[in-house]
Amino acid sequence: MTAEALHAEAHAEKAEQGLKELANWITLVSEKWHGAPWADFLHHWENVVFAWTIALGLIVIAFLGTRKTRPIPGPFQNFLEAVVEGLENFIGEVLGERGRKYIPFIGTLFLYVLSQNLIGVVPGMKSPTSSLNTTVALAVTVFFYVQWTGLRENGLLGYIGHLMGSPRDLVGWIMVPLNFPLHILEEFIKPVSLSLRLFGNILGEDSLIAAFVTLGIAALAFFHLPVGLPLQFPFLMLAMLTGTIQALVFSLLSTIYISLMLPHEEGAESTH
Amino acid sequence: MIFAAGPMVGYVIGHWMDGRLGSDPWGTVVFSLSGFIASLKQVIGIIQRASKETEKGETKS
């Protein structure tokens, strides 16, 4: 890491008074052209810029992969089909055959969160999911989607009945004053836990990498070299692993929340 | 994380209600406790769901 990047990092750290993160290309641009409205705009909306870049990247990949599909696929089409099939199997195991219509949403969610988590490992880039704003946005989207699914699949009365704990007998109805507020609280706990879990893990990883980069530079500071020891390398591997796991957990929990909202199958065990 | 989020959500709602109704500290206490119970309920629901999936998978194989 160059001295300029280190300075940018120190400036960012002082400005935000938060955990250290490595400088990215926007930080360097805003340092170089500090005071220019477009540079300050980019710096202010850093996470949105990275999130949109990733979204556009995924859109381009999907477009290129589905532009000229062939019965005998080429390598790129084959790769995309393997990814989609993997997602279908993963989501299908939780939701079953009735859950096929949710595969586009959850599959896209998984790929988007995964890409956002892993992009931070690339030098000069930043994980948008290391910001609470991004993870809250994702979690709130899932929250509204789950509630909308509940309303659509159960109807309004069925949805309210679900929130009351689906009372079937006298005991069920007696428990309604307890079940109803608890269930409403549960629904609000879901997006909070989803967002905090993802944010905490990704910010923690990025801060760990930044700390070891700083340590690596400090280790060679005595020799006044413009580079540092690559002490962060094992943590880049760890970041890739935990980034993948967190994307999986986010998507799996979203899938489970959708499945909990769906009408119970005949003879199925109630989870309420 | 669900166990942390539960009391957190309950605290926020309870604190807001205390501000509106002047029931400090009871709203905060009751809702924080309710949040914890709701998070416990949610975790048990998720574990039950996951166990059901594991059993389904074992039956298939």
Find, in chain A, the residue whose alpha carbon is nearest to that of B35. A185
User: ipTM of the predicted structure?
Assistant: 0.78
| Tokens read off for A130 | 């290391």
Confidence of residue A22 (pLDDT cuts 50, 70, 90): confident
User: What whole-number distance in Å separates Cα of residue A208 and Cα of residue A253?
Assistant: 26
Considering the entire predicted model, what is its pTM? 0.84
Contact A196 B1 (CB under 8 A): yes
State residue A165's pLDDT score.
Answer: 83
Q: pLDDT band for position B59 (50/70/90)? A: low
Interface residues from chain B to A (CB-CB < 8 Å): 1-2, 4-6, 8-10, 13, 31, 34-35, 37-39, 41-42, 44-46, 48-50, 52-53, 57
Q: Residue A270 — pLDDT band, cuts 50, 70, 90?
A: very low
Contact A253 B46 (CB under 8 A): yes
Nearest residue of chain B to residue A90 (CA atoms)? B53
The span from the CA of A193 to the CA of A117, in Å, is 17
Nearest to A58 by CA among A106, A113, A14: A113
Q: Closest by alpha carbon to A249, among B50, B48, B41?
A: B50
Query: Which residue of A98, A185, A258, A261 to mutate against B (max B Cβ within 10 Å)?
Result: A185
Contacts of B34 in chain A (CB under 8 A): 181-182, 185
Q: How far is A110 from chain B (nearest CA, A)?
A: 19
